[in-house]
Amino acid sequence: MNLLELRNLHVAIEGKMVLRGINLDVPPGEVHAVMGPNGSGKSTLVQTLAGAEPYQVTDGQALFLGKDLLSRAPEERARQGLFLAFQYPVEISGLSNAYFLRASVNALNRARGEPELDAVDFLGVLRSELLAMEMKPELLERFVNHGFSGGEKKRNEILQMKLLKPRLALLDETDSGLDIDALKVVARGINAMRDRERGFLVVTHYQRLLDYVVPDRVHVLVNGRIVQSGDADLARLLEKRGYDWLLEPQRA
């Protein structure tokens, strides 16, 4: 069974149609990249799948693990194993990062019928992951994403992904604003999570991240439609030729 199946998905924001019939299957164990020029609807796609409020699905359907996804609340989607690494991680002042991470892990554990972790157990788990992400321990005591640098925010997202162990991870421009070292750390985090069960949908504008996280499939999104799909070579072709050659047939 596919992790994700999208059929003729149409999405509008504030009455304006952004996605115009997306069809896409992500089977277990695969990394799919969605590329495309600015404004093509990449972020809309993953935000919609996570259940962000401003996006209205006007037509089509989305199945996650064979069941309807769109009727569910954002937290239910998360508890079933859908994870979104935000392009702009949200700051929550007053709430410590460690406390937030534990609340989140326990919410998912509860949903899975697994035991909740107390503060001590959790800290143990956290420490090793923190080390792997090359994050400073004091980031745990700080408020969620508050005063984090761009790179620290993105690492914090991947850290959460590793703790929450989703079935399908949606990564929204996780590479943007990262220097090469941070990019490698993030890519290592993602690769460490790859296995036969788990799937990834990686949204990116550039080929950069895909040098380190080699995708099984690449889809090109233009004007709210997937205009081309292929293997990892397609991403390299896009890097070389840009998106213009794909825009032409659209206009015709």
Partner 1 sequence: MSTSNRQIESLLHQPYAAGFVTDIEQETFPPGLDENVIKQISRMKNEPDFMLEWRLAAFRHWLKIREPHWSIAHYEPIDYQAISYYSSPKSRKSGPTSLEEIDPKLLETYEKLGIPLHERAALAGVAVDAVFDSVSVATTFRETLARAGVIFCPISEAIQNYPDLVRTHLGTVVPPTDNFFASLNSAVFTDGSFVYIPKGVRCPLELSTYFRINAAKTGQFERTLIIADEGASVSYLEGCTAPMRDENQLHAAVVELIALEDAEIRYATVQNWYPGDESGVGGIYNFVTKRGECRGAHSHISWVQVETGSSITWKYPSCILRGDESVGEFYSVAVARNFQQADTGTKMIHLGRGTKSTILSKGISAGHGKNAYRGLVHLGRNARDARNYTQCDSLILGPDAEADTFPMIEVENGSARAEHEATTSKISDDQIFYCRQRGLSEEDAVGLIVNGFCREVFLKLPMEFAVEAQKLLSVSLEGAVG
Binding site for partner 1 (CB under 8 A): 50-53, 73-75, 77-79, 83-84, 86, 89-96, 99-100, 103-104, 107-108, 111, 143, 160, 164
| Cα separation, 173 vs 216, whole angstroms | 18
Cβ 141 to partner 1, closest distance in Å? 12
| Cα separation, 77 vs 87, whole angstroms | 18
Cβ 110 to partner 1, closest distance in Å? 9
Strands 199-204, 82-85: parallel, antiparallel or unpaired by DSSP?
unpaired
Question: Nearer to partner 1 by C-beta: 156 or 204?
Answer: 156
Question: Nearer to partner 1 by C-beta: 109 or 228?
Answer: 109
Cβ 75 to partner 1, closest distance in Å? 4
| Cα separation, 128 vs 96, whole angstroms | 19
Cβ 79 to partner 1, closest distance in Å? 5
Cβ 76 to partner 1, closest distance in Å? 9
| CB burial of residue 119 (10 Å; 0-12, 13-18, 19+) | exposed
Q: Are 139 and 152 in contact (CB under 8 A)?
A: yes
Cβ 237 to partner 1, closest distance in Å? 33
Side chain identity, residue 154: K
Strands (E), 79-172: 82-85, 92-96, 143-144, 168-172
Residue 138 backbone dihedrals phi, psi, to 5 degrees: -70, -15
Question: Tell me, what DSSP letter sits at residue 117?
Answer: P
User: DSSP string covering 149-206, please?
Assistant: -HHHHHHHHHHHHHHH--SEEEEESTTTT--HHHHHHHHHHHHHH--SS-EEEEEESS
